Structure formats: C-alpha cells, structure tokens
Amino acid sequence: MSSTPPSPPRTRATRGVEAADDVAGYLPGDEVEDDEAVVDAPEEAPAVAFTAIEWEAYKGDAAGKAGTDVIHVLAKRLPNAPGVYRMINAAGDVLYVGKARSLKKRVTQYAQGRFHTNRIGRMVRETATMEFVVTRTETEALLLEANLIKRLRPRFNVLLRDDKSFPYIVLTGDHPSPGIFKHRGARSRKGDYFGPFASAGAVGRTINALQRAFLLRTCTDSVFESRTRPCLLYQIKRCSAPCTGEIAPADYDRLVGEAKDFLSGRSHKVKGEISAAMQRASENLDFEQAAVYRDRLAALSHVQAHQGINPQSVEEADVFAIHMEGGQSCIQVFFFRTGQNWGNRAYFPKADASIEPAEILGSFLAQFYDDKPCPRLVLLSEAVEEQELLAEALSTRAGQRVAVSVPRRGEKKDLADHALQNAREALGRRLAETSTQARLLAGFAETFGLAAAPTRIEVYDNSHIMGTNAVGAMIVAGPEGFVKNQYRKFNIRSTDITPGDDFGMMREVMQRRFSRLVREHAQPEDAGAAAGGDDGFPAWPDVILIDGGQGQMSVVRAMLAELGVADKVVAIGVAKGQDREAGRERFFCEGKPSFSLPVRDPVLYFVQRLRDEAHRFAIGSHRARRRKEMVKNPLDEIAGIGPTRKRALLLHFGTAKAVSRAAVSDLVAVDGISEAMARLVYDHFHER
C-alpha cells in the first residue's frame, strides 16, 4: 500500500505534518517547537531508540552513502514496530512514503538490493536518507501514510490528482423558514445534509427539481428579511414565498418535512401522499390545486429519472471500479445514498505503469477518504491489498463499522460491473483525447518552428468595461488538455494605467506573472525547475499566446527582456482577422513576418480553442469582480464594523446612505454601537 508523506517525523509544526497528532515516534535531533508537547510512545510501539548523541553519530555513519548502503545503515536500529517511513533524495525531496507492520523488516528488505520492478530500483538508488515515524498500530500507520502522501505528493507513490470536496444539499435548521442550498466544505451551519453528489451540476439540477416539487426558498436570509412582496420565483411556481406570508408557517413546515423524507429515501411515501392529495382536490373540483400537485409529482419523477440506477438492496454505499489500459488507469466512483444514485465521477490517479491495479485502488481508497465521510459499505470491482486493514482504518476514521467487499453475485455485483464499464469507457475517451492532443501539440510545434512539442502553453487575455474592474487572465494547456488548477487571474492594481489601456494592463500582468516565476522557481534550464508544478507539471511555459497584435507583442517582449527571460519563452501573438472573423487570425512571431493559417488547419482550430477558453475565463473573472463591486456596501470599508454591527445599522436606518447621514447621537441608539464606534462611523462619512 502507498499513501502520503510529510516532512521529518518530529518537525510537523514547521513542515506541515498536522495530521500526525497521534503519532508516537520521532527521531532525536529533529526540532520540536517549545510549545509542542512531546507524545510518548506506548511500550508496545516504542519510538526509534536513539539518543541525540547516538543519532548524530549514526548520521555520520550514513553520510556520503546512498541507495542500499544508506538504507542498510539506517535499518540497524529500527524497532519491530508499525510505522511510516519516507525515502528522501539528495535534494531533500520526498521520493516515497510507505507504511509497515514492522519498520525494521520492511526497510531491511530495501537494503538487500533485490527489487521486483525497475521503479523500486530507481527509487532506492536515488535515496540519500530516510525518516521514520513509529505509530501505535498498523491502522494508525495506514491513516498517517495516506495523509502524508496527499500533502507531500512523492514521485513514486500513487497520487490522487483531483481532490476537490464533494457538494451536498443542505436544508437549513437555523431559520424559522428553512431554505434549500448547495453546500461544500465544513458543516458549520445547523441543518440536514444530504449527499455527497458527484458534481455541483448534479446538485443544481436536483435543487431546481426540488424547488418545483416542494416550493422551498433558495434566497439568502438577508434577502428573505428584506422582502416586502413575493419575488419572481413565486410567480413561476418555484417558491411558496414564506418571506411575505403567502403560505402559513405550518404549511411551509409540512413542505420542508416532505422534502426531508424524499431526500432521506422515503420517496414512495411522499409521492403517495401527494398523489392522494391530488385525487382529493380533483374530487372536490379544485382543479387548480390538483394541477399544483400534478406538477409536483412530475418534478419528483424528473429527479428520479435522472438518477439512473436506483438499487433496491443498497441503502448507502460507494462503488469503486478500476480499469487500466495504455499505461494509464481510471477509477470510477458511484455514490448511493438513501437508496438513490447521487451521481458518479471518474478519477485518473498518477501511478507508475508497473503498479498493479489492486495496489493503485487500495492506495487510492486510503487517500480518497482522508478528508471525506465514508459510508457503511464500500464495494470494489476487485480485491485490494490488506483489505481487512483498510476496512478497520476506515471504520476508525468514520466512527462506525465500514465494510469493504468485492461482490460476487446479485445487485451489488451488477453495480460493480456497471462502475467498471463506466471506468473502461472513461479511460477510452481520455486515451483518445490524449492522442489527439499529442498530435495537435506536434502540429503546433511544426507550425511555429518549435524544437519540440510544448508541454505547457499559457494564454493571456484582459477583460474590462471602459477600464473598470479590469482583470487579466491566464489559462494553461498541456498534453492532457486544459489544466484548470493552474489557471490564474490578475486584478489590475496599478493606478498609473489609463482606464482602457490594454497595453498597460498586459504589461502589469506579464510583470507580475514572470517576476514571481523567476522568484519562486529556477530558470527553465536549471535542474528540477521544469517540474515545479503539481504532479510534475512544468512551472515554466514553453509558449505564451497573447490575445493581441503587434502592439501587444512589443509590450510583452519588452517586459520579458526586462526580466531577463526573453530567450527562455516563445511568445506568439494572435490577432483577430479582418472583420474579427474566426479563421482569419494573424499570428505574430519574433523573427518572421506575420502570417495566417489555412481556414481548415487543425492547428488553427486548436489555437482558437485556447484563445476562446482564455476569453471565457477572463470575462467570467471580470463579471465576478463587477458583481462584487455592485453589491459592495460602504459600511464594509469601516474598520470594526463586522457583519453583526452592519446588520444592526441597516435594520435600524434601512440603507447605507441613511447611515452616512446619521448624527452620532442617532448612531449610538443602535444596539451594539458604542459612542466610540458611532464616532468612527460618523468620521468615515464626514472626513471634512
């Protein structure tokens, strides 16, 4: 099993091993914060038995050694106790994090020099030192290993690349009229949470259907309090308008209860009650009310129809299936809660092609549940290494018994097979896209005279309206397509730029981007600099595309020359053609005249996709900033005025403009506003 590593065992306060709180071992010589209590190891799992003097002598014995020699020296005094080890190269980078039932036996195996795969051989040869953490149990070692792998992202481990939290639906419980919202992150708000859902889109579609079915509000509490008449959602029959009393509190509570029942898996009961109510309304000739019930039933049916498989015998489970092909692997995950399918997601973990599928899946599971709630049942397409230990670790983390099994027959086997089929198809699509992307990058290199196909392309664009809320945007593409976790936006800060000056904005974006790149990463030709990004993705671009013509390019080249990186990066300008028609773009490269590509050239389509994605991202960033500015309140600028005092002032005076006109004596009358705070607010609006 592989999982995630931290920095030296005892330097967790300064090197990011926050999750090692119940770790029992450390190496003498490691720094310990003065305010950090040392955790004594229990007798059955003793800490590494070195005194500080012995450890210094021990390190002296290992100095200058590498590979099996240094591992042999370090293995001599290791205890026969469970723990986690880290293999580190001469540059201080963590190569691998692993766990062991017996640290001494596992590390001694590496020292013997007999390796089953080339991957392990390379890993051992690059090892310059090792660090160890002794744990109380093997279960603790497994959990710590997973945490460290996610934090340190060592090169030779299986890495979970997509680590976003899952969205949930929450029915709030801290308001007399509960609302239904999408939620992601810590569950700090009181309410009932339902999920997880595979994507934010799945949550949005479900909430839209539930609005039509149960007429629950989706507005914020502040909007709810300020309403004096029903909003548009009430008019289109997607909200019952509890804000203005269009529905009695008891009737609204009944709708909330029905929504909870439906999301909790009691959908048949809810649909039966609504169907009976529709029938009664029809018999009483209240056809308008019967139509309302009919529409609610249709909305519920719509939710269930879009959930695909809804198993009868599986109440709560996650289903994992792995498929390997072409040196890559795909793990498909399906989420079932309350007997309903809440969607699926495909993952493509980073792993060496020599690693077996069972090992990849086992390591993936340990990392996957490191920061996510685990259901009572985990179904797998194939058995993983140390399956019982994994179940015990997940049970420990979840605080309830978790079963991990490989179904052999029945509906559960059908679910695993369905997940495996989806994994196979998702990997097939990815391989096809990767192959196409590789051909496009090769064509790109040939078209623009590059020595090799680029591994990182950065595309820049600006967006503003008459110079206001100006934003610069950078998108990134690589061999596997768009790399969205590398996207960046730049809020234009300079006050010297004339509003609407695109050249000045591009100059600021280039200066900020490449000065930081020079500061944080070595030059591209230096060792290790190219792999400065996540998952080994290059930090330095091979090519930058600028949405603009010769004027923009002159600004960009001048800034790159000023920073001393003009000869390190290829800059290409993409200017819109005559009448701004797609297909007539002009390209500007240094050392050659501008040119256009044939209308049906695949490279031209590729560049257009890159430019359009940069344009989309820039406009989206600009609109988000503009929306934020539009709803910005002058009270937000006053130091000491937080949400509570701001709410009190607005409830008392109605608007921020009324607050600005208020006298100190009027401000003091507001709950929570002292005379000093009132003077502060008054002075903010009356500087003269």
Phi and psi at 441, nearest 5°, equal -65, -40
Cα gap 544→565, rounded to integer Å = 12
Reported as type and span, the H/E element at residue 551 is helix 550-562
Q: Which pLDDT value is given to residue 48?
A: 44
Higher pLDDT, 340 or 612: 612
Q: Which residue is listed with tokens 């056809």?
A: 287
Cα gap 490→471, rounded to integer Å = 6
User: Is residue 32's pLDDT more than 90?
Assistant: no
Query: 479 Cβ partners below 8 Å, 6+ apart?
Result: 434, 437, 438, 441, 453, 455
* pLDDT tens figures, 579-612: 666 667 889 888 788 888 888 888 888 998 899 8
Beta bridge partners of residue 330, listed in sequence order: 323
User: Is residue 660's pLDDT more than 80?
Assistant: yes
Average confidence (pLDDT) over 5-29:
35
Note whether 386 and 400 are within 8 A (CB). no
Beta bridge partners of residue 134, listed in sequence order: 83
Query: 437 Cβ partners below 8 Å, 6+ apart?
Result: 479, 480, 481
User: Is residue 2's pLDDT more than 80?
Assistant: no
Q: Domain 317-427 has what CATH class?
A: alpha beta
* pLDDT tens figures, 255-309: 888 888 877 766 666 777 777 778 877 777 877 778 777 777 776 666 655 455 5
Q: Which of 397, 541, 386 is nearest to 460 (CA)?
A: 541
Cα gap 472→494, rounded to integer Å = 12
Average confidence (pLDDT) over 81-109:
89
Question: With bands split at pLDDT 50, 70 and 90, how would you rate the model's confidence at 310?
Answer: low
* pLDDT tens figures, 443-466: 999 999 888 999 999 999 888 776
User: Is residue 680's pLDDT more than 80?
Assistant: yes
Q: What is the mean pLDDT of the chain?
A: 79
The one-letter code for the residue type at 677 is: M
Tokens of 224: 């709810």
* pLDDT tens figures, 473-490: 999 999 888 888 899 989
Query: 265 Cβ partners below 8 Å, 6+ apart?
Result: 315, 337, 338, 339, 340
Q: Which pLDDT value is given to residue 257?
A: 87
654 dihedral zone (left: phi>0; alpha: psi -120 to 50; beta): left
Question: With bands split at pLDDT 50, 70 and 90, how would you rate the model's confidence at 25?
Answer: very low
Cα gap 651→659, rounded to integer Å = 10
Cα gap 151→157, rounded to integer Å = 12
The domains of the chain are located at: 12-152, 168-305, 317-427, 457-628, 634-685
Tokens of 22: 């119940």
Average confidence (pLDDT) over 421-440:
86
User: Is residue 35's pLDDT more than 90?
Assistant: no
User: Is residue 19's pLDDT more than 50?
Assistant: no
Q: Domain 12-152 has what CATH class?
A: alpha beta
Higher pLDDT, 14 or 312: 312
Note whether 216 and 179 are within 8 A (CB). yes
What is the bridge-based pairing of β-strands 340-347 and 328-337? antiparallel
CA angle centred on 481, ends 475 and 483, rounded to 5°:
45
* pLDDT tens figures, 520-549: 876 654 434 444 444 567 889 999 999 888
Continuous H helices in 287-409: 287-305, 357-368, 387-398
Q: Which pLDDT value is given to residue 321?
A: 93
Q: Which pLDDT value is given to residue 212?
A: 79
User: Is residue 117's pLDDT more than 80?
Assistant: no
Q: What is the 3-state secondary structure (H, E, C) of 443-462?
A: HHHHHCCCCCCCCCEEEEEE
Poorest-pLDDT segment among 73-82, 136-145, 194-203, 348-357: 194-203
Q: Which pLDDT value is given to residue 578?
A: 66
Q: Which pLDDT value is given to residue 396?
A: 87
Q: What is the 3-state secondary structure (H, E, C) of 339-372?
A: CEEEEEEEECCECCCCCCHHHHHHHHHHHHCCCC
Q: Which pLDDT value is given to residue 529?
A: 41
User: Is residue 216's pLDDT more than 80?
Assistant: yes
Q: What is the DSSP letter of 229?
A: S
> 634-685: which CATH number, 3.40.630.10, 3.90.320.10, 1.10.3720.10, 1.10.150.20?
1.10.150.20
* pLDDT tens figures, 146-183: 888 888 888 888 887 766 677 888 898 888 899 989 88
Query: 376 Cβ partners below 8 Å, 6+ apart?
Result: 316, 317, 400, 401, 402, 403
CA 266 to chain centre: 32
Cis peptide before 196 (omega within 30 of 0): yes
Beta bridge partners of residue 194, listed in sequence order: 169
Q: In b/e form, how buried is each residue of 147-176, taking b as 16+ CB within 10 angstroms?
A: bbbbbbbbbbbbbbeeeeebbbbbbbeeee
**Three-class DSSP category at 137:** coil
Higher pLDDT, 21 or 416: 416
CATH topology of domain 457-628: Nucleotidyltransferase; domain 5 (3.30.420)
Q: Which pLDDT value is given to residue 302?
A: 61
Residue positions counted in the chain: 688
Q: 317-427 and 634-685 share one CATH topology? A: no
